[in-house]
Amino acid sequence: MRPVLLVDVDGPLNPYAAKPHRRPQGYRTHRLTTPRWEAAERRRLSEWGLPLKAVKPLRVWLNPGHGPALAALPFDLVWATTWEEEANAFLAPLLGLPTLPFLSWPQPRPQREDGVFWKTPEIVAWARGRPFAWVDDQITEADRGWVHAHHQGRALLHRIDPKVGMTAADFARLRDWASLT
Ligand SMILES: [Mg+2]
């Protein structure tokens, strides 16, 4: 069985932490108003007591080369992003990816005191021992330790710099890891 690649969006595919007025090379700007984004913005405006005017779209940078590059990897791709089903509706077509399975997250997000990212136990439970790689900008050593202690199969937790997004070196790392499976 091929390993799974769990793909986060904000950070790996959308390098949101790059300088606001300097779109990284190879990326295109998209302005999206998704139902989740609109609901979150309306909640924020009403919490701050601000008038509910038209919600500004969310700016997303995407590299059209990332879809084919992900599809060419020897993995089964799965979204592991808070975009959930909206990754399929809004992002997959822009990247040239098919509809992919996605993880649904608990709401509200679990609070943890131990520095482990709330996604990590969800991913391990979902994987049920199947080998997986995971790209995310919020991975730390705490997550690697937690996965090591709680996941039976192989796992690669590969952090992506959210100022840069996924690079050729990241794709090479994933290919190398899969070839050892
Ligand atoms: Mg992220």
Q: Tell me how far the alpha carbon of residue 40 lies from the centroid of ligand 1, in angstroms.
A: 17
- Per-domain residue ranges of the chain: 4-18+63-179
Distance 51 CA to ligand 1 centre (A): 29
pLDDT of 9 reads 98
User: Under 8 Å CB-to-CB from 16, ≥6 apart: which residues?
Assistant: 10, 61, 162
Q: Which CATH class is domain 4-18+63-179?
A: alpha beta
CA 159 to centroid of ligand 1, rounded, Å: 10
Segment 131-180, tens digit of pLDDT: 999 999 999 999 999 999 999 999 999 999 999 999 999 999 999 999 98
CA 45 / ligand 1 centre spacing (Å): 23
Which stretches of the chain score pLDDT less than 70? Answer: 181
pTM: 0.94
User: How far, in Å, CA of 130 to CA of 4, rounded?
Assistant: 8
Distance in Å, CA 12 to ligand 1 centroid: 7
How much is the pLDDT for 28?
Answer: 96
pLDDT score at 71: 98
pLDDT score, position 173: 98
